[in-house]
Amino acid sequence: MFIRAVVILCVVTVWCDIIEEDNVAVQEKEHVPADSENPGCGCNSLRRDGGTNTVKTHIWHDQAAAKYSKALKEDQIDGGEHQQISDVPKQMVWIPAGEFLMGTDNPGIPQDGEGPQRKVHLDGFYMDVFEVSNLEFQKFVNTTGYVTEAEKFGDSFVFEGLLSEAVKGQISQAVAAAPWWLPVRGADWRHPEGPDSDIVGRLDHPVLHVSWNDAVAYCTWKGKRLPTEAEWECACRGGLKDRIFPWGNKLNPKGQHYANLWQGEFPNQNTGEDGYTKSAPVTSFPVNGYGLYNMVGNAWEWTADWWDIHHTTDELHNPTGPTMGNDKVKKGGSYMCHKSYCYRYRCAARSQNTPDSSSSNLGFRCVSQKLS
């Protein structure tokens, strides 16, 4: 009886700590920077010459659905190319049907179309617990012979601070809106920081330098799909109502880091106080209420929706975004996000890129109506 009482007391004490921490978080919300304080990290400006268009993207999507179906068996993989490390668990979790509040009436970056807050009803779905890792993407490539768009174009965008002096010395261009972003020849998912880098020791990190088109091809091969923006945001919130982050309103509850973000002065110094100065393993940091890892920080994640900044306040059921556009929505921010420059590591935050864009901080995860 005494032991049982002690156990109950411990549980109540822990729960009270959680409630107390959340109440403190409500009172101590992060200061929301003004528009002028949020020039952005510039990753939404990483556009390839010529851009893309709706018709081209839908044709590409149909071709991918035929070419990269589940009929291709994973046992065709050449295991000799794999490092001897444990597989990232192939796990999905069920996100229950219901309603949630999407967006915010207190936007951190109003020009991104974060508001107004609106009620959304969703059917239930499964979501990948982890961002798609280098290992899982490598299996896809080895099985299908798939070539990413970064490889086809011959280059991709990389943050200057990650490049070697040898690679930087060969580059004469930069993104005008964000000169720390450089187009690097030979940068792709196998070479995240350019031709003299590799993913040895990083097979459990999120795959990067994947375009929206690349992500669709992988999801199709797995018998899955990209999440809609509404599905992604609902999953990010982890069952919490009107909170900034997947875990609450306080960025570092009890002094603990909950996401892979930039610490220090952007873009000059990343102190790596959270343990990482670039991507982290997909199993890093605490999970949210649905058991999902890294819903904010680490790598931006593609969604299925076309980009639009105008939203209705009407209640919506399973919204899928506009029927056409030039850019696709990405969510979650990345290891480059810092409050002073890119305050987008929030569930309501959003950004965009053309479907053929790729960079050293952009990845994805999949969803499905059935367990795959």
Per-residue pLDDT of the chain (372 residues; tens, 9 = 90+): 433 333 333 333 333 333 334 434 333 455 545 544 555 777 876 777 544 444 444 444 555 545 554 444 333 333 333 333 345 556 999 999 999 999 999 999 999 999 999 999 999 999 999 999 999 999 999 999 999 999 999 999 999 999 999 999 999 888 888 899 999 999 999 999 999 999 999 999 999 999 999 999 999 999 999 999 999 999 999 999 999 999 999 999 999 999 999 999 999 999 999 999 999 999 999 999 999 999 999 999 999 999 999 999 999 999 999 999 999 999 999 999 999 999 999 999 999 999 999 999 999 999 999 886
Rounded Cα gap, residues 99 and 243, in angstroms: 15
Q: Does residue 20 sit within a domain? A: no
CATH of the domain at 348: 3.90.1580.10
How high is the pLDDT of residue 133?
A: 98
pLDDT of the residue at 259: 98
Place of tokens 């609450």: 248
Dist. CA 342–CA 39, nearest whole Å? 7
Q: Is residue 211 part of a domain?
A: yes
Residue 245 lies in a domain: yes
- 113 within a domain of the structure (yes/no): yes
Query: Which pair of structure tokens corresponds to residue 3?
Result: 């032991």
For residue 149, give both structure tokens. 């768009």
pLDDT at residue 321, rounded to an integer: 97
- CA dist 263 and 86 (Å) reads 30
Q: Has residue 111 been placed in a domain?
A: yes
Q: 270 and 361 in contact (C-beta within 8 Å)?
A: no
Token readout for 293 is: 């890892």
Q: What is the pLDDT of residue 49?
A: 58
* pLDDT reported for residue 175: 83
287 inside domain: yes
Looking at residue 41, its pLDDT comes to: 79
Total count of domains within the chain:
1
Farthest CA pair distance, the chain: 74
Look at the chain and count its residues.
372
For residue 313, what are the domain limits?
Answer: 89-133+205-368
* Other CB atoms within 10 Å distance of the CB of residue 253: 18
- At 67-109, the pLDDT tens digits run 554 444 333 333 333 333 345 556 999 999 999 999 999 999 9
Domain assignment present for residue 316? The answer is: yes
Does residue 126 contact residue 93 with C-beta atoms inside 8 Å?
A: yes
Alpha-carbon separation of residue 52 from 30, 34, 46, 356 (angstroms): 37, 32, 13, 7
User: Is 120 within the bounds of a domain?
Assistant: yes
Is 1 in contact with 301 (CB distance < 8 Å)? Answer: no
